[in-house]
């Protein structure tokens, strides 16, 4: 169960609005209420109500995960990808941290590839690699285990993401990133 989320940049009312009205997935079939810094979500489909504590902390060590009953934290900011930074979540009471991006120093586990190497006694922080790795690695493992792979080359075609522009506009790092995502194929690293 998701018991808590942290977003220092999003107003709770706006979070509820985004949850209830989604351009891609449609309107939520149920009700979303604000209740003392929490989202109370009632599903009309399952007739179940679930409450999620919402934190608005900039620093992971300030998030009181234990007060919400969170044992596992998924670090998805893209900022705290090194173990030293990700372990700040443990200060708030989390027992384990999963970094949802590649990490330079955390053990990297991919389901169906090397997840059996997970050691719960020694791994407090792990990375689940990138979306590209999770898409490619299981298939590559099957091919390699059965036929062998000596060398490979891949191209990823990624759907539009929230950070891309809908129309052309200025971009700081690469000019190509300023192009409208719907009309262009924009080279990027993963």
Catalytic amino acids? 131
From CA 25, how far away is CA 69, in angstroms rounded?
29
Encode 6-30: b = buried (16+ Cβ within 10 Å), e = exposed: beeeeeeeebbeeeeeeeeeeebeb
The number of residues making up the chain comes to: 190
State the DSSP H helix or E strand holding residue 99, giving kind and residue range, or none if neither: strand 96-99
Task: Look up residue 83 and give its DSSP letter.
Answer: H
| Cα Rg, the chain, nearest whole Å | 20
From CA 152, how far away is CA 54, in angstroms rounded?
44
Query: CB-based contacts of 112: which residues, under 8 Å, 6+ apart?
Result: 137, 138, 141
């Amino acid at each position: 169960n998701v018991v808590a989320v942290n977003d220092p940049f999003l107003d709770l009312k706006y979070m509820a609005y985004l949850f209830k009205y989604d351009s891609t997935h449609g309107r939520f079939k149920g009700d979303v209420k604000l209740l003392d810094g929490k989202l109370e979500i009632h599903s009309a489909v399952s007739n179940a109500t679930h409450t999620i504590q919402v934190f608005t902390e900039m620093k992971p060590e300030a998030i009181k995960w234990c007060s919400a009953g969170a044992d596992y934290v998924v670090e998805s900011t893209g900022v705290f990808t090194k173990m030293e930074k990700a372990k700040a979540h443990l200060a708030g009471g989390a027992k384990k941290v999963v970094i949802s991006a590649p990490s330079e120093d955390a053990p990297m586990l991919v389901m169906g590839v090397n997840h059996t190497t997970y050691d719960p006694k020694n791994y407090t922080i792990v990375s689940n690699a990138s979306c590209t790795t999770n898409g490619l690695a299981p298939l590559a493992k099957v091919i390699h285990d059965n036929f062998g792979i000596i060398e490979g080359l891949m191209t990823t075609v990624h759907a539009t993401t929230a950070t891309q522009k809908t129309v052309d506009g200025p971009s700081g790092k690469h000019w190509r990133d300023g192009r409208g995502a719907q009309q262009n194929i924009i080279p990027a690293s993963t």
